[in-house]
Amino acid sequence: MTLLDGKTLSQLIQKEIQKETERLKKDGVTVGLAVILVGDDSASHLYVKMKEKACENAGIYSVVHKMPSSISEENILETIALMNKNHNIDGILVQLPLPRHVNQTKIIEAIDPAKDVDGFHPFNVGRLVSGLDGFVPCTPLGVMRLLEYYKIDVKGLNACVVGASNIVGKPMMNLLLNSFATVDICHIHTKDLASHTKKADLLIVGVGKAGLITKEMVKDDAIVIDIGVNHVDGKLIGDVDFGNVSPKCSFITPVPGGVGPMTIAMLLSNTIKAAKSRKQ
């Protein structure tokens, strides 16, 4: 069993990004990322702080627009419009979730697709589905980079994705399809989940339910990617029963230290990509 170490790979990628930002600065381009943070969700604030620190370390200028949960949808849209026009901002990220009174789709669609470093705008979603270049959501993109780093070729593999969100599951499915894996995607209404997971050469799980995947649900020598994030008894654990599942695996990601760091690295990578487009 080999651990897929996303923390170490993320650090390597961020060092390369730092070199890239220095090269761009010599060409007169300062890479900039704007984050919109609405409300007091503690997890969101933690994620944004981690992103701020990563930007600082990589030499990327970042600004965070912190807004109260009572803010109007119109005010958020006005801020996005200003960021769209700001030539010093290459990427715009709206931290999810948003308060219930705010139309999340409307907010995402307001972002300039050329600055949509989260890859959530329908324009970029369409390009991903069509196999065209664009911005890809950071977590699934990070999974693909992690597999590539460990020389795991997904072509021809039977892959099972558990979770069908727009942020992780659906883009993960499309990335795997574009790489010629055979993909089975499951969700909350899937009947007999184990009958799907047990057939998977590559099992990717991201639903936020601790211990969902047990050893009986995983085939021998499977590759298991755990994207789940759960806080249980003061500990951060994934969706996979790591202690019992890992001995059966050829490769598996730990939680923490697996996919999470790769998500931030891919956000920085997407921001650099946007800056290069501006330079052109």
Q: Which residues are catalytic?
A: 51, 95, 118
Q: Tell me which long-range contacts 131-137 makes (C-beta under 8 A, separation of at least 24).
A: 131/178, 135/270, 135/273, 135/274, 136/171, 136/175, 136/266, 136/270, 137/167, 137/168, 137/171
The type of residue at 134 is G
d(CA 240, CA 248): 12
Map the chain to HEC letters. CEECCHHHHHHHHHHHHHHHHHHHHHCCCCCEEEEEEECCCHHHHHHHHHHHHHHHHHCCEEEEEEECCCCCHHHHHHHHHHHHHCCCCCEEEECCCCCCCCCHHHHHHHCCHHHCCCCCCHHHHHHHHCCCCCCCCHHHHHHHHHHHHCCCCCCCCEEEEECCCCCCHHHHHHHHHHCCCEEEEECCCCCCHHHHHCCCCEEEECCCCCCCECHHHCCCCEEEEECCCEEECCEEECCECHHHHHHHEEEECCCCCCHHHHHHHHHHHHHHHHHHHHHC
